[in-house]
Amino acid sequence: MKIKSTIHDYFVSFGDYKDFIKETYSNGDIIIKDININYKDDNKIIINIDSNENEKEYNKISSTIEYLIENNFKKSNKIFAIGGGVIQDICGFISSIYYRGVEWVFIPTTLLSQGDSCIGGKTSINFKNFKNQLGNFYPPQKIIIDTKLLQTLPENQIKSGLGEMLHYFIFSSYEDFLFFKEKSKIKDFESLIKRSLQIKKSVIEIDEKEEGIRKLFNYGHTFGHAIESMTNYTIPHGIAVCYGMDISNYISYQMGNLNEKEYLEMKEVFNEIKEGLDLKEINVYEYFEILKKDKKNLPNIIKPILCNTYGNLGQYSFTYDSELIKFLKNYFDNE
């Protein structure tokens, strides 16, 4: 699969990642990987990183850059990144600024990164206590998807990947939603990944910098990010997004934009993914204060994406004194 980009075109391939590294690694290249990934080779330079949000902090990333300099990493060398979203963000950011841009290859190891974040080019890192404040767009030259890496993932990480991919299938069409239901039940992850990336590709190639239609991919994310923050990020991202989509749909249903059949049909699938949260313990007023800080907001306006029907999402605007908080309170009280 070829992805067109204003920065550089790049490619997604499926196959054995170890074979790929063996065939393409050159002297001086560096492998940056999640410490939990069982890959060893004494003949290659490997940096192990404990894959958590703290490692995305700017000062910690600078030590990795220092290591590259000390090991004489050249403009002609490339970085192999093996891991999930944290490794992707770290390596994408370093590759974008080192010598004003060096080649990197991404080998995603989670269902979420394989089915979503591996394409699109976004890279974000944290600065002190501020999450994802630094970043840009800099896609890898090559993405290698090896679905065997999913075999050791815990169930909540599988659900996280499914929750994140699901918003693409709802964005696309009813037929794709049914495709998701069918393939997720039999755990046909390769088919889900390929279709998810095809849907995302069709949008990012015409709106790479999220200035138009790509904004609709924030469906579930405004409310989901607030769930993550309220739970101190103990809820995996894709599961939080699934809660966020359910909240979005509830609001749309209450507003009369989403019919009951579709609302309940989607909710049934959401409920198979959602876990780990007692909604009645959420303080709706604290939650609302977090929503106010969403980076996509305008002054005094919260701008979530709501679902009108399959294949028809839209951005809505709610002022701080609107009925939005009433919708949220009813949702949290009645779930």
Domain range summary for the chain, segments of one domain joined by +: 2-151, 154-334
**What proportion of the chain, given as a percentage, has pLDDT over 70?**
99
Token pair recorded at residue 89 = 């963000």
Predicted confidence (pLDDT) at residue 90 exceeds the cutoff of 90: yes
Give the integer Cα–Cα distance in Å for 10 and 261.
Answer: 40
* Interhelix angle 221-230/237-254, nearest 10 degrees: 120
Give the pLDDT of residue 278: 86
Give the pLDDT of residue 244: 97
CATH class of 2-151: alpha beta
Predicted confidence (pLDDT) at residue 173 exceeds the cutoff of 70: yes
CATH class of 154-334: mainly alpha
- Tell me if 220 sits within 8 A of 313, measured CB to CB: no
Pairing mode of beta strands 78-83, 103-108: parallel
- Tell me if 55 sits within 8 A of 49, measured CB to CB: yes
Give the pLDDT of residue 129: 67
Token pair recorded at residue 15 = 């196959």
On average, the pLDDT of the chain sits at 94
Per-residue pLDDT of 60-84, as tens digits, reads 899 999 999 998 899 999 999 999 9
Give the pLDDT of residue 132: 77
Predicted confidence (pLDDT) at residue 308 exceeds the cutoff of 80: yes
Predicted confidence (pLDDT) at residue 91 exceeds the cutoff of 70: yes
Q: Residues 288-310: what's their mean pLDDT?
A: 90
Give the integer Cα–Cα distance in Å for 64 and 68.
Answer: 6
Altogether, the residues listed in the chain come to a count of 335
Phi–psi pair at 46, nearest 5 degrees: -125, 130
Give the least confident one: 99-103, 127-131, 243-247, 279-283. 127-131
Give the pLDDT of residue 96: 95
- Tell me if 239 sits within 8 A of 164, measured CB to CB: no
Q: Residues 258-284: what's their mean pLDDT?
A: 93
Q: Residues 218-223: what's their mean pLDDT?
A: 96
Predicted confidence (pLDDT) at residue 130 exceeds the cutoff of 80: no
Nearest to 107 by CA among 40, 12, 193, 35: 12
User: Residue 52: pLDDT band by 50, 70, 90 thresholds?
Assistant: confident
Q: Decide whether 2-151 matches 154-334 in CATH topology.
A: no
Predicted confidence (pLDDT) at residue 104 exceeds the cutoff of 70: yes
Q: Residues 163-184: what's their mean pLDDT?
A: 98
In sequence order, the 6+-apart residues with CB closer than 8 A to the CB of 328 are 247, 251, 284, 287, 288
- Predicted TM-score of the model (pTM): 0.93
Predicted confidence (pLDDT) at residue 299 exceeds the cutoff of 90: no
In sequence order, the 6+-apart residues with CB closer than 8 A to the CB of 283 are none
